[in-house]
Amino acid sequence: MKSLRLIALPGLLALAGCASSGSGPTVSYVDPNTVDTTAIGFNSTDLQTTAKSMVDQMLSSPVIIKLTKNQSPVMYVQGLTNNTSEFINTQAVTDTISTELLQSGQFQFVDMNKVKAIKKQLNYQNKSGMVDPTTAAKIGQQVGAQFMLYGDVAGISQSNSSQQSQYFQVTMKLLNIQSGLIVWQGQQQIRKVEKRKTFGW
């Protein structure tokens, strides 16, 4: 029995060596601005180009230049509605746009997604009796948004035996909350084609 174990052991070690040096996937860091051509769907490159286009269009608009000349208007982002049949991370698109606008110094933002959390914290500070009243944030002192940024993504997908094409149209609007007027609107169009490989004899 000892001889059998000795014979089997080298084989097991060889198998273990093969497993440890296997042919699994490798991961490496790449430039996040590199053009993504891995899929025809809405990808990271589309997100980046859309965000840049929207921000550039907005900040170069004569209406917006006039609007932000002597003030930093307050807005909130309603976000994008996905009207395509594909999954699109619309939150990532609007987050990128709002980040660029905020960093421009020309706009201020309120986060309507955190209203409940803010209300809870204000109630705690003012009504729990556990917070020094001189340091508590006052109820009713928040700044109201003057504008709402929102939009949608539309898409058209077509295919035949040799290729598939995908078209996206992103539209964003800036609405004056008090008047109900749209003071700015921008669009970004994206069209991609994927050629299908054909095999012959």
Q: What Rg do the C-alpha atoms of the chain give, in angstroms? A: 27
Cβ atoms of residues 75 and 149 within 8 Å: yes
**Does the reported pTM lie above 0.75?**
yes
**Residue of 75, 126, 67 lying closest to 101 (CA atoms):** 75
Residue 7: band (very low, low, confident or very high) from pLDDT cuts 50, 70, 90:
very low
State residue 22's pLDDT score: 62
Q: Give pLDDT tens digits for 12-70.
A: 445 555 555 567 789 888 888 888 888 888 989 999 999 999 999 999 999 999 999 99
* The pLDDT of residue 4 is above 90: no
Token digits for 42? 């809405």
What structural domains does the chain harbor? 38-130+142-195 (3.40.50)
Whole-number Å distance between alpha carbons of 67 and 73: 8
Q: What is the pLDDT of residues 152-201, one digit of tens each?
A: 999 998 888 888 899 999 999 999 999 999 999 999 999 999 887 765 54
Q: Enumerate residues 6+ apart whose C-beta is below 8 A from 32.
A: 44
Which run of H or of E encompasses 167?
strand 163-176
